[in-house]
Structure 1
Amino acid sequence: MRGPACVLSSQSAEGVAPMQSLPSPDELDRLVDTTTRLRAGIESVVTGRPDLIRTSLAVLLAEGHLLLEDVPGVGKTTLAKAIARSIDAQVGRIQFTPDLLPSDLTGVNIFRAQTHEFEFRPGPVFAHVVIGDEINRASPKTQSALLECMQEAQATVDGRTYPLPRPFLVVATQNPVEMEGTYPLPEAQRDRFMARLTVGYPSVESELDMLDLQEDSDPFARMRPVTDAAQVQRFIDIARRLYAAPSVKRYIVALVTASREDSGLRLGASPRASIQLLRAAKSLAAMSGRDHVLPDDVQELAVPVLAHRLLPSTESRLSGRTTQDVVTDIVARTPLPAAEPLARARRAV
């Protein structure tokens, strides 16, 4: 899937990056140090999946939303709780059930007889990190209550709009739709999630480590926050200031366009997918200590960011070809941007 590494100039013939807007070396150092400690803290609870944790933190720094999908018991909720526990921030927990109402998420207005006025009681979405457990067990109406929250960081209740705290991250888990008592997420809802990750079963060694780790104590009891919400928001702003060469942006658009033209799909990726793939790639580059994006960053995130937004054709379903397979093929056949001389790099790649 991955092509040869291609170093792109932060200042090339295609365009000149605004020097003053790039993150400073000290800002990148603090970001790298904090994300390294975040990864170590989460890995003390979720063993054997460093790639999963790395992508999850990239989504966090891109101010996106994360969908964790797999069968029960493989650690979806554990990962979501570990991310929330590692940040000193407000955390909302929602256990999705078939009888859950939209107002149970966003909040309600309560009439106070003493003042003869309505008082707004916010729901669990009014938090920095919202854990939505088994999101596909709720009805589509309730699932759709999150659409405005996830896209615009606000909630409208009884005609009045309330801003949500920043940063705002939804980490949702879901079981496969073929399991009893679940509802498939609507396409519009899936498109709001920046990335979908499949946890999978651990290796033998990782499962043995997990047994040792949880044999006589709860690993969550030892977790301590590494950073706070305000610092995370500053890191989000730093990551967005990274430089992406025009050739990298064209590469992202080429991948997304190829998904719309692929015969194995009946629905390709949306323009929102292009935006979120670029933001996630910037976050991944920042976590590597770079002030610019490489095609390798885009390739690493292509499947988790794009695959869940696509709908396979009937022929693909009958042949057993998944959307992950389609994205992998698209990445393999899409030419990489031409290599450019490295005119300025603030970190070793």
Structure 2
Amino acid sequence: MTYTFKIARRLSGNHRRFLGLLALSLTLGGCGAATDAVLSEGPGSLVLTIDGLSAGAEAEVVVTGPSGFQRVLNGSRVLSGLQLGTYRVEAHAATSQDNQWMPAEGAQTVVIAQPVPNASVVFHYQLATGSLELRAEGLPPNAVGSFRLTGPGGQVRTVSGTVSSVRGLTPGTWSLALTPQSVGTARYYPDQAVYAVNVVASLSPATLQVRFARKTGGLNLVVDGLPPGASSQYQLRGPGDYQASLTGTTQLAELDPGDYVLTVQPVQWQGHTWAPEAASIPVSVDTLVKTVQIRHNIITGAMDLAVEGLPSGVDADVRVAGPGGFNRTATGTQAWVGLAPGAYTTTAASVVHGGR
């Protein structure tokens, strides 16, 4: 309760000179609402009662009246020293920890007049919001998680984390949209894309439990175009520095979804070379098993040179020239493999033996 006293010094007769104002604040113990002396010299008082709020929630009540009077109050209070006249008392929303309470009554008007210049106003607050507790199972502890919550009137809230509490929600049906979550190279998928939950005005949260599961894909790598006995060699690289060196037809499982690249090497076998149709093959892995063909084509040829008509023990003199600087001399029947495709020229010189 606050009082202001006017301190005056009498000069002469009925004349006074006011020297100033002295404010004295007193705190009175006891039950009931606190009392504010308004400091006018009016005889009126106003008792304001607020109920329905939880601990920690403060109301906001605006009292306006004669001569520009205005006071903002945060709880139950007694205003004294009021002038006579009409007062308007308006309560606004109260909040605490994102929860909101609304007064059941609108603005109220009271008249303070003689012979009993006292008035009272009561505001009953009611909780106007609810809350939701979300638990996302199946995600690792380091998962951030980010989900979209949509409610009445198009309200949108973003929820993060595997365990989240959201307050201050308008009562009604809210929908939670879930999308696949990435943790490192792993991908986790929700068991359903959208959940619906009913939120009521209460300090006890509605609960919603959603589930995620890690899903992986696979590759069936099929090598073809090589003769029996020849083995291909290639490397597979993918998300998170994944790397594997492979040979021949191979099946791979538990691959994290993402973009991979196959690098295929030429195959050398029995003097011939088989080149891959594509030295680099991009592969996109999802949650299914995908088959990828790794095709090879032979890029070399062979030549059989037959020398006939010479006596036994007599060497021929045959020169063979072809692409890529190929230049060989044969003294008899000869076979070459691993030759580059193209035109070859053979030149046989005369052979003299025994005067013939």
| TM-score bin, normalised by smaller chain | under 0.3
Which structure shows the higher helix fraction?
1
Relative to the length of structure 2, the TM-score reads 0.15
With a CA cutoff of 8 Å and minimum separation of 6, indicate the structure with the bigger relative contact order. Answer: 1
Indicate the structure (1 or 2) with the bigger Cα radius of gyration.
2
Relative to the length of structure 1, the TM-score reads 0.15
